[in-house]
Amino acid sequence: MSDIEERVKKIVVEHLGVEEAKIQSDSKFIDDLGADSLDTVELVMAFEEEFGCEIPDDAAEKIVTLKDAVTYLTANSN
């Protein structure tokens, strides 16, 4: 597991209160991990904080799985 993936997973565990073992790379935050739409806004804020970047709204809308987040942050974080 990459360092970025590990950090993203940690944030998802903390914010959504799900067990780490249940999170798959293609788990959807809303459909599979029980998040609601406000939770996903907060998740994106936590990613920004952790990775020191700003995720524009149109990019944030496309982050629906752990993999999406890792891909985006690998390309865009400092």
Partner 1 sequence: MRRVVVTGLGTINPLGNNVDTSWESLIDSKSGITKITKFDVNNYPCKIAGSIEDTNINGDIVSPREQRKIDRFITLGLIAADEAIKDSGFISENESSFRSGVMVGSGIGGLDTIYKNSSILDNQGIRKISPFFIPSSLINLLSGHISIKYNLKGPNSSPVTACATGTHAIGDSFTIIKNNKADLMVCGGAEAAICPLGISGFSAARALCDTFNDQPHKGSRPWDKDRSGFVMGEGAGVLVLEELEHANKRNAKIYGEVKGYGMSGDAFHITKPSEDGNGGFRAMEMALKESKLNFDDINYVNAHGTSTPVGDKIELNAVEKLLGSNKNLLMSSNKSAIGHLLGAAGAVEAVFSLKSLETKTIPPTLNLDTPDTVTTINLIPHESISKNIQNVISNSFGFGGTNASIIFGH
Based on CB atoms, which residue is closest to partner 1, 32 or 39?
A: 39
Based on CB atoms, which residue is closest to partner 1, 31 or 36?
A: 36
* Smallest distance, partner 1 to C-beta of residue 36, A: 10
Burial environment of residue 63 by CB neighbours within 10 A (0 to 12, 13 to 18, 19 or more): buried
**Binding residues for partner 1 (CB under 8 A):** 17, 38, 41-42, 45, 48, 54
Buried b (16+ CB within 10 A) or exposed e, 11-24: bbbebbebeeeebe
- Is 68 labeled as catalytic in the residue annotation? no
For the annotated catalytic residues, the residue numbers are 36
